[in-house]
Amino acid sequence: MHVLFIIDPLPSLSAYKDTSVAMMRALIAHNHQISVTLLSDMYIDNSRVKARTTPIHIAADADLHSANWWTETGAPTELELNAFSAVIMRKDPPFDMEYFYATHLLSFAEAQGAKVFNTGAALRNHPEKLAITEFPEFTPPTLVTRDMDRIRAFHQQHKDVIVKPLDGMGGMGIFRMREGEVNVGAILETLSKNSTESLMVQRYIPEITQGDKRILIINGQPVPYCLARIPLAGETRGNLAAGGRGVAQPLSEHDWHIANSIAPKLVERGLFLVGLDVIGNYVTEINVTSPTCFVEITEQTDCHVGELFAQALATVVGNET
């Protein structure tokens, strides 16, 4: 296969822990070719979706801590997206208007024969935080609104709640409001930008102290290990970007139940790779834009997540050819 990655600039990646790099290395190990492009290098010309793409290689013994962990194996080339065996969308959020428009280009490319993972429509129609409301049996008491009175009433009812913006990532903008919180007004005004943006409010889940678990699903199949992201002392956010510590562990019986219950619907929508965020028995987010944690799980277990991804991709692309 020749696989195109739509990705952030390679020099900006921390290659030694980057999931996209782990995907590339696993594909290269199976003798597949890799090319990369940026969101800004995608375009439509005469109704055809194209990109300025550069072929690269990552040596098996590459120093992933260095600035020269990859090599370009050819000159940049303008190609239609359907020229590749698969197109992997790995541009990190934010999900801004440029990202939104890019999902439309991906959908147009799919109509022209490109095989895109995750599909443009799936990325566009699957808001990562709101999506959990489709699965109420696995969701903590949740309110989504920009009405401050409703939020205050929810807080009064549940006493201890988590408040977060709908477009945050990496734990940014997440606040815990305990019973008796004196800064409720300031927190809500700041996060909602004076009631102009909706917020998600959830009952606090005490099990966060045991870790916010990332469960990966690849082509409908749960990876048998998750990464429990354990918060720093005094923190309510387990995200690695917020200083959490990642500990790989086997899926619990309930983790399997959650993943196997949700996975079929996600696959139907064109979501090849998904990351469920689970605290206790509850799903708090369904990540689809650029799920991570491949490296951490692989390094701590005998489960090579990149290998699972490469095999699943080859199977799907082969079946669709």
Query: Which residues are known catalytic residues?
Result: 129, 164, 214, 229, 237, 277, 285, 287
Cβ atoms of residues 211 and 247 within 8 Å:
yes
Cβ neighbour number for residue 111 with a 10 Å cutoff: 11
User: d(Cα 192, Cα 195) in Å, to the nearest integer?
Assistant: 5
CA angle 122, 123, 126 (to 5 degrees): 75
- Alpha helices for the chain (secondary structure H): 19-29, 97-111, 120-124, 148-158, 184-192, 253-268, 294-300, 305-320
Look at strands 86-89 and 116-117 and give their pairing: parallel
Cβ atoms of residues 163 and 200 within 8 Å:
yes
